[in-house]
Chain A
Amino acid sequence: MEMPSPNPAILACKSRLVERLAKVLPADAVIEDEAETRAYECDALTAYKCPPLLAVLPRSTQEVSDVLRICHEEGVPVVPRGAGTSLAGGALPTADCVILGVARMNDVLETDYANRTIRVQTGRTNLSVSGAVEEEDFFYAPDPSSQLACAIAGNIAMNSGGAHCLKYGVTTNNLMGVTMVMMDGTVVEIGGAHLDAGGLDLLGVICGSEGQLGVVTEATLRILRKPEGARPVLIGYDSNEVAGACVSDIIKAGVLPVAIEFMDRPCIEACEAFAKAGYPMCEALLIIEVEGSEAEIDHQLRLITDIARSHNPVELREATDSDEAARIWLGRKSAFGAMGQINDYMCLDGTIPVTSLPHVLRRIGEMSKEFGLAVANVFHAGDGNMHPLILFDANKPGDLETCEAFGAEILKLCVEVGGCLTGEHGVGIEKRDLMLHQYRPADIEAQLRVKDVFDPKWLLNPAKVFPLSTTQSRRAPAMAAE
């Protein structure tokens, strides 16, 4: 993956930059030592690494504003970083950038149960937002699988989803307001505890903009009362087609489960070997969860299992108690860990129309043979968000490249059938060069024009999301000015 070469003029001004930043930040908030900046050399896409020029760890919106103002004046690129869990390289530095980490900003600023909102600093982790309102039986709905570690800042940057978004939506549907610092240091308030925008929906375009439009330091989030209960059912089929048809029939019947997870045979086998959850060995496994009171759950599960039975499942297992429910989820929740045990893997994130599922799985199987790399599929079937895991050996020369080429072909296939490159992980650097498969040049240009408005000097996370060739002329002036 190509990254722009560092600007020598910026590298040369490091000491001046450190001096200026030290005036506005506490001593321990400016990290310049090469041994220490290495901690910020990559995110969860570990195949790519580059230590930044500096890292800063501000504690307040004011400090973030001071940092950005100084970097703006000095013409230094800034790469915002939440918890560094991006699988797409969204927080990958360049050698001439300042990493702006929000990890120290993790306070809860206000919980308001009467109005069902919480306001937090964005360095706070996703799960600890729910943790902060748990005592009143409330929760924050978006639940990316990295929720123990990932920060709200990154969730907003990538518009993160999770397993339960079929019912509750993704980050953008649960984000009500932000305090954001613009690249020139200006602090803006957008939205709040009230609903919808009074003018243009700026919040809507900021969410998912991968840290390219501003640095979000505080957020007002919608919290919800927990349902009375939840229970999963596990259904196994001997073909992907039948499992896909079952999902479609359930949705058509008017039942809206909170989650419909789908695993294919390679994934079932790996999970079983790793977690021993007692999954049946079959071609396709569905885990479907519904919520409500005991009676409501019974009613919905009856509707679902009736439909499932009409498709002749090889296995149908309803959880009768919480232990059994946990066992049904155990394999699915350990899928990524299971894969990591076997091999290095690359996790893709394309979305497809649910109806294309059998076709896409068949094609992935064929391509797996062509590329000579195994692939396991686990995904959110209700919304078509796939997570093919391609297994490779990082120590074997050429394997990573083959894996990336295979991954690119899968994502192109997703676009071909009417889907998209990424459903919840973001573009980052990983899918940057595939953007022209999804969008025509004019559609890309329209997006670049949005960044022109928010960040005219193209200093915020400039080498991400869009193919470098499409942003070259915009990034060049910053280089030339030095």
Chain B
Amino acid sequence: MTPQSEAELADIIAAAKGPMSIRGGGTRGSSGEGDPLSVAGLSGVTLYEPGALTLVVQAGTPVEEVKKILAGENQRLAFEPMDHRGLLGTQGVPTMGGVFAANTSGPRRIQSGAARDFLLGVRFVDGRGDVLSNGGRVMKNVTGYDLVKLMAGAYGTLGVLSELSLKVLPMAEACGTVAVDVADLATAVAAMSVALGSPYDVTGAAYDPDAGTVFIRVEGFETSVAYRGEALLQALAKFGEARMTLGEGAALWEGIRDVAAFHDKPGDVWRISVKPSDAIVLAQTLGATALQFDWGGGLIWALMEEGTDLRARMNVPGHATLVRASAQTRGAIARFQPEPAPLAAISAGLRAQFDPRAILSPGLMG
């Protein structure tokens, strides 16, 4: 089902007799069981005020379309949403609804914030079929509870997003990348920590163990990027051979964002969020086929032998999501990190309130 309006979406949900699989473009492989219900038909920009850094879009609006419109005013989605198609081998058109339902952020998350930090307001249809709204289209808003954050990352299980208000930011004039060849993961994490703890406003800190290289990104005005890049080059020289490239780098950071290193490689793919320095001890126990590191070490992508329960090997606080797996593995291992009992009870309570008939991608999140 692909409703063409919010009212139609509400009617469909109100009349639903059984589970529905909620999706935008269906590219993130996280739609759950049931009759497919897509918001792709709700498309278009409702309001764009470049001088106020705000944009209101229908949930089914393609991400590419939004990027193009923003680029016309020299602005962008600063949280750098990942495109899952390469990693998951999915087809289709990623939507804004999907980006926020999955709280999808890229390398710049460490500096500018996650998708959820840019979401100012939502309209959604809950499991009863009621159209609800929360937040607004202004940057500072503490009027009532922040259900906007709750909806971001809920994968449609608390309600189906119909309209989103978001904050956008100016596009950077220039981009520079400092690459440092390091001996091992511990050195890499230390180097990234120095970069992120510097006053140079680093907007990306990733490590590719296959290449043995740390990548540090700075963005801003051209003179500023040159200055900061040079300062970082000096600060990081003690960790290994360092060099700077100015100007290019878009492809490199897109590859990091989309985990290009794991495309077309067999095995399960896990996404782990930990305290950056914990990455060192965790990497030793995972027994992964391959690893990639972003967010200064705090985001670990692990390619694992099929059917391995990575969570059993987690020896540090954090959470792990099973992003890519066969149907058989999915049957045995939960997609999302199980929560401790009191938190699981709160989450279940919220689901029961917002989706009392358990029809919105039931079972997807717990």
Question: What residues make up the interface of A, taking CB atoms closer than 8 Å to B?
Answer: 112-117, 137-138, 158-159, 161, 165-166, 169-170, 172-173, 182, 186, 188-190, 192-205, 207-209, 225-228, 247-249, 251-256, 292-293, 295-296, 299-300, 351-355, 380, 383-385, 418-427, 431, 435, 438-440, 442-444, 446-447, 449-454, 465-466
- Would A465 and B139 count as touching, CB distance under 8 A? no
* Binary per-residue interface labels of chain B (199-220) against chain A in the complex, 1 for a CB within 8 Å, 0 otherwise: 1010000000000000000001
User: Which residues does chain B contribute within 8 Å of A351, judged by CB atoms?
Assistant: 136, 138-141
- Would A199 and B144 count as touching, CB distance under 8 A? no
- Would B52 and A355 count as touching, CB distance under 8 A? yes
- Would A209 and B145 count as touching, CB distance under 8 A? yes
What CA separation (Å) do A421 and B105 show in the bound complex?
Answer: 30
Report A193 CB to chain B, min CB distance, Å.
Answer: 4
Known contacts: A190-B343, A453-B349. The answer to whether A172 contacts B146 by CB under 8 A is yes
Chain B 310-366 residues near chain A, CB threshold 8 A:
317-321, 336-337, 339-340, 342-343, 346-347, 349-350, 353-354, 365-366
The contact of B52 among A203, A251, A254, A442, by CB within 8 Å, is A251
Report A446 CB to chain B, min CB distance, Å.
Answer: 5
What CA separation (Å) do A199 and B298 show in the bound complex?
Answer: 17
- Which residue from chain B places its CB closest to the CB of A189 in the assembled complex? B340
B253 contacts chain A at the CB level, 8 A cutoff = no
B153 contacts chain A at the CB level, 8 A cutoff = yes
- Would B149 and A205 count as touching, CB distance under 8 A? yes
User: Which residues does chain B contribute within 8 Å of A137, judged by CB atoms?
Assistant: 199
User: Which residues does chain A contribute within 8 Å of B152, judged by CB atoms?
Assistant: 201, 204
The stretch that binds A, out of B23-31, B86-94, B273-281, B283-291, is B273-281
- Would B336 and A198 count as touching, CB distance under 8 A? yes
- Would B193 and A114 count as touching, CB distance under 8 A? yes
User: Which residues does chain B contribute within 8 Å of A440, judged by CB atoms?
Assistant: 133
What CA separation (Å) do A137 and B200 show in the bound complex?
Answer: 13
Chain B 193-240 residues near chain A, CB threshold 8 A:
193, 196-199, 201, 220-221, 223-224, 227
- Would B347 and A200 count as touching, CB distance under 8 A? yes
Report A172 CB to chain B, min CB distance, Å.
Answer: 7
- Would B133 and A199 count as touching, CB distance under 8 A? no
Known contacts: A200-B365, A227-B199, A251-B52. The answer to whether A439 contacts B144 by CB under 8 A is yes
Known contacts: A159-B142, A292-B224, A449-B354. The answer to whether A252 contacts B50 by CB under 8 A is yes
- Would B337 and A353 count as touching, CB distance under 8 A? no
- Would B353 and A194 count as touching, CB distance under 8 A? no
The stretch that binds A, out of B33-41, B57-65, B110-118, is B110-118
B134 contacts chain A at the CB level, 8 A cutoff = yes
User: Which residues does chain A contribute within 8 Å of B365, judged by CB atoms?
Assistant: 199-200
- Would B223 and A299 count as touching, CB distance under 8 A? yes
User: Which residues does chain B contribute within 8 Å of A453, judged by CB atoms?
Assistant: 346, 349-350, 353
Q: Can you list 21 A-B pairs with a CB-CB distance of less than 8 A? A: A115-B276, A169-B117, A173-B117, A188-B340, A188-B343, A199-B347, A200-B154, A200-B347, A201-B116, A204-B149, A204-B150, A207-B146, A227-B201, A253-B170, A254-B170, A419-B136, A442-B130, A447-B134, A452-B353, A453-B353, A466-B144
- Which residue from chain A places its CB closest to the CB of B105 in the assembled complex? A196
Report B41 CB to chain A, min CB distance, Å.
Answer: 23
What CA separation (Å) do A186 and B169 show in the bound complex?
Answer: 41
User: Which residues does chain A contribute within 8 Å of B248, judged by CB atoms?
Assistant: none
- Would B52 and A248 count as touching, CB distance under 8 A? yes
- Would B342 and A188 count as touching, CB distance under 8 A? yes
Per CB-CB distance, the 8 closest pairs between chain A and chain B, nearest first, are A204-B149, A198-B319, A248-B51, A423-B140, A453-B349, A254-B170, A198-B337, A193-B275
- Would B150 and A201 count as touching, CB distance under 8 A? yes
User: Which residues does chain A contribute within 8 Å of B170, judged by CB atoms?
Assistant: 251, 253-256
What CA separation (Å) do A431 and B141 show in the bound complex?
Answer: 13
What CA separation (Å) do A252 and B319 show in the bound complex?
Answer: 39
Report B251 CB to chain A, min CB distance, Å.
Answer: 23
- Would B136 and A418 count as touching, CB distance under 8 A? yes
- Would B140 and A353 count as touching, CB distance under 8 A? no
User: Which residues does chain A contribute within 8 Å of B113, judged by CB atoms?
Assistant: 169, 173
Known contacts: A194-B275, A351-B138. The answer to whether A450 contacts B199 by CB under 8 A is no
B109 contacts chain A at the CB level, 8 A cutoff = yes
B245 contacts chain A at the CB level, 8 A cutoff = no
The contact of A420 among B131, B132, B143, by CB within 8 Å, is B143
B171 contacts chain A at the CB level, 8 A cutoff = yes
Report A70 CB to chain B, min CB distance, Å.
Answer: 19
B54 contacts chain A at the CB level, 8 A cutoff = yes
Report A225 CB to chain B, min CB distance, Å.
Answer: 5
- Would A115 and B138 count as touching, CB distance under 8 A? no
